[in-house]
Amino acid sequence: MNFLETAVVIFLGSFLLVYLTIPKIIGVVEYKRLMDDPNHRSSHLRKTPTLGGVSFYYTLIIALFFIKNWHGHDEDIYIIPGLTILFVIGLKDDLVVLSPGTKLLAQIVAITFVLVNPSFTIESLNGFLNIYEIPYFLYLVIAGFLMLTIINSYNLIDGIDGLASIVGIVIMIIYTTIFYLSQEYFFALIAITMNACLMAFFGFNVSSNKKIFMGDTGSLIVGFIISILTLKFLALEPTAYGELPFLLENAPIIAISILIVPLFDTARVFAIRIANKKGPFSPDRNHVHHVLIDFWGLSHKQASFIIGCFNIIFVVLFIILGSKAKNLGMVIMLVSVVIFLAYIFFRYNYNFTTLKQKILLKRKIDKIKGKMEPNPKKKENDK
């Protein structure tokens, strides 16, 4: 089969496998009572099945077996161990809850399998900020940090119905296009497989009567795949950029623009938590999607749709600019946009927090006044 025929078969097969097996997973989870209980910061009000990400794992493993002939450096052999480690650690975290340190250690082990494969080695930044060749140890540091950041950033945006799926779908469509144009068909097929999984899962995630969450099992797997695709994108040979609609030196900026939603949201909530003298992984309701829901009163679907549209517009804009603009100008523009967005959401978050504090204060004052006021019936009895 040629690439297009393979892509169609892989997409349909992956979609159907996830779509047909998720109801079985829901049944097992409900029977075993492995549901996610809502708490004070949850965006759902009733117990909901989790472990939807289990379907991602076996679908990817099967797909990797069928597309292995499209790789160039046995990438599947290096991807599967890391994928399996994150599947196991995500599954265990969904069932018994693990410490952030344990999950981070597992992630480091998982990405090590990818980093040692020559297909992912970034040998040059191709003139980005006038940087060209980089030593291997620096590649390991940069690439390792990049992969860990992407995995955890994607994990953190999985907070409302549909958001992680929509953002993941947008990212996969973009990477499918990039790898198809650069003739890296193995990675295009991985993106297509992951896209099919997310599209099939999305319907259940936003359903009212068959709802299921992907859980850490799913978000760690998707984040891992996104990090692999991003690393491969940055490691492309200069000749592979010939058909891509942006300058070679702008590739790092394009990668950031593709991942703008999880990266911006994570940087923002980490800054807020550290400023409030809390741990960066301490749970709260300061995420962008929480602001949209709590302050603007949007539904989960509306907030997810708006964020997804923003992601598409942002990427398209920077790809267009990246075809002409020099990377220093692109960096300045990216930083300016991020600062502007950070300010906007800071104001919304600040105003909303202040409003909540005023409401709570008013309730306390009213309660105190109610206690201080004499009881009318008691007065009558005294008379």
DSSP per-residue letters across 181-203: HTT-HHHHHHHHHHHHHHHHHHH
Residues 6+ apart with CB under 8 A from 46: 38
In this prediction the pTM is 0.88
Which pairs count as long-range contacts for 66-71, CB under 8 Å and 24+ apart, including other chains? Answer: 66/6, 66/9, 66/10, 67/6, 67/10, 67/186, 67/189, 67/190, 67/193, 70/3, 70/6, 70/185, 70/186, 70/189, 71/119, 71/186
Segments in the chain below pLDDT 70: 36-46, 72-73, 348-383
Instruction: State residue 368's pLDDT score.
Output: 67
pLDDT for residue 146: 97
What per-residue confidence (pLDDT) applies to 348? 65
> Domain residues of the chain, as ranges?
3-251
- pLDDT at position 252 is 95
What is the model's pLDDT at position 383? Answer: 40
- Cα–Cα dist 194/111, whole Å: 18
